[in-house]
Amino acid sequence: MKMLRTMLYAAGFAMTCALLPAAHAQGVIKIGEVNSYKAQPAFLEPYKKGMELAVDEVNAAGGVNGKKIELITRDDNANPGDAVRVAEELISREQIDVLMGTFLSNTGLAVADFAKQKKFFFLAGEPLTDKIIWGSGNRYTYRLRPGTYMQAAMLVPEAAKLKKKRWALVYPNYEYGQSAVAAFKQLLKAAQPDVEFVAEQAPPLGKLDAGSVVQALADAKPDAIFNVLFGADLSKFVREGNTRGLFQGREVVSVLTGEPEYLDPLKEEAPNGWIVTGYPWNGIQTAEHKAFLAAYQGKFKDYPRLGSVVGYSAVKSIAAGLKRAGSSDTEKLVAAFKGLQVDTPFGKITYRAQDNQSTMGAFVGKTKNDGSKGMMVDYSYFDGAKYLPSDAEVAKLRAPD
C-alpha cells in the first residue's frame, strides 16, 4: 500500500511538472524576432530599443488579451540560411506564438518563404524589396515599412523637377538595391521619357571599392545620380565623392540617406542638398511623435533613429493584431491583420488586405550640412497610402492567396 501511494505521488508529481511549461505558456505571448544585429548595428540597436519600449508600454497597459508579451530575439548573421534556421528554432524550441523581424531583403524573403511553408504568421518590419508583398508575397507575411516602389514613387516627382537627362545609378548588388533601381528607372522613365541612364555601379553589399566606383561614375559625366547605398558603403561613397568632386554641379537623389543612423556618422562630411528619404526626429511636431520621443528619451537618454520607430511600430502592430484576433492562432491573426489599423509615431497606418503592405509613409526632404553634422531640411511626410499601386495593378503583381 505504501509503495502504491509512493508510485501515485511520483506519477502525480511528474504530471504536474509536465504541465508547468504549458501553464507558463498560457500566461505569456511569445514574439520571436530574427535580425542582423551584428551585421547592421547602426539601424538595429535603435530598432531593438524601440521594440523594448513598445513591449514595456503594452505590458504596463495590461498586456494583450490578458497576457503579457515576451520578446525573444535571435541573430541571423545577415545570412538567409541562418535566418531560416533560427526561425525554425524559435518555433520548435522556444514555442513562439508570432514571428517578426529581418532587415536585409534577402533574409526577409527567405523567412517569408519559410513562413509560407510552415503556415506561420510573419511580420517583416524592415526588408524593402517588393517581392516580399508582390512577386513572392504570401498570405502569412505582412510588411511594415514602405518598400522600394513606394520610396521611389515619393522621390521620382522631385527627381523629374530637376529636368536632368543623364542619370547614373549606384546601389548594393543584392535584392534591395536591384529592386530600388528597377522601380526608380520605371517611374522616372514614365515621368520623363527622354531620360537616359548612362552608368550603373553595383558593388557587393559591404564591399564598396569607393575609389573605382566614384571614378566610374565621374567618367560617365552624368547630370544627376540616384544613390541606394547605405551604412558603411554610403559613408565611403560620400567621403570619396567629396574628395574627388563627384557631387559638384550634380544633383543627387538618395534613398535612406536622411535617416540619422546613416547621416550622423558622416559628421562634417555630410552632403548638402541631396534629395532624400529619412527621419527628421527633432523637427516632427505631431502629438503622436512628441509622445514617442518623450518616452524614448526618458527610457534610453538618447534620441531615436528610424530603426527605433520601426521596432516600436512592429511590436505595436503585433499587439494590435493579437488583440483584434483574440488569439495567437495563425489563421485568426492573418485575418485580423487585413485592414488592421495601428497607431504609430508617424500617425495611424493600415495593413492593406490586397497585398499585406502597411500604409506607413516616409519623410522626403533635403540634406543640409550645418558645419558639424548633417540634418534633413525642407521635409514633408508622404502618406504611404498615396504611393501604392491600385488594386488592379496589385492583382497583376501578386498571386492570389
Residue 27: its pLDDT value, please?
87
Contact 310, 47 (CB under 8 A): yes
pLDDT in tens, 292-351: 999 999 999 999 999 999 999 999 999 999 999 999 999 999 999 999 999 999 999 999
Residue 144: its pLDDT value, please?
98
pLDDT in tens, 96-146: 999 999 999 999 999 999 999 999 999 999 999 999 999 999 999 999 999
CA torsion sign, 199 to 153 to 379 to 302?
negative
- Proportion of the chain above pLDDT 90, given as a percent: 92
Q: Which residues contact 178 (CB under 8 A, 6 or more apart)?
A: 171, 202
Contact 155, 379 (CB under 8 A): no
**Topology of domain 149-284+363-387, per CATH?**
Rossmann fold (3.40.50)
Residue 25: its pLDDT value, please?
45
Contact 31, 96 (CB under 8 A): yes
Residue 220: its pLDDT value, please?
97
pLDDT in tens, 257-304: 999 999 999 999 999 999 999 999 999 999 999 999 999 999 999 999
Better-predicted residue by pLDDT, 9 or 265: 265
* Helix ranges (DSSP H) in 72-209: 80-92, 105-118, 148-161, 175-191
Work out the pLDDT band at 26, boundaries 50, 70, 90.
low
Whether the pTM exceeds 0.75: the reply is yes
What are the beta bridge partners of residue 240?
none
**H-run or E-run covering 99:** strand 98-101
Angle at 347 between CA 36 and CA 157, to 5 degrees: 80
Distance CA 118, CA 107 (A): 16
**H-run or E-run covering 253:** strand 251-258
Are 22-146+285-361 and 149-284+363-387 equal in CATH topology? Answer: yes
- How far the first Cα of the chain sits from its last, in Å, is 62
The domains of the chain are located at: 22-146+285-361, 149-284+363-387
Q: Which residue has the cell 519623410?
A: 363
What CATH number does the domain located at 22-146+285-361 have?
Answer: 3.40.50.2300
Distance CA 165, CA 196 (A): 6
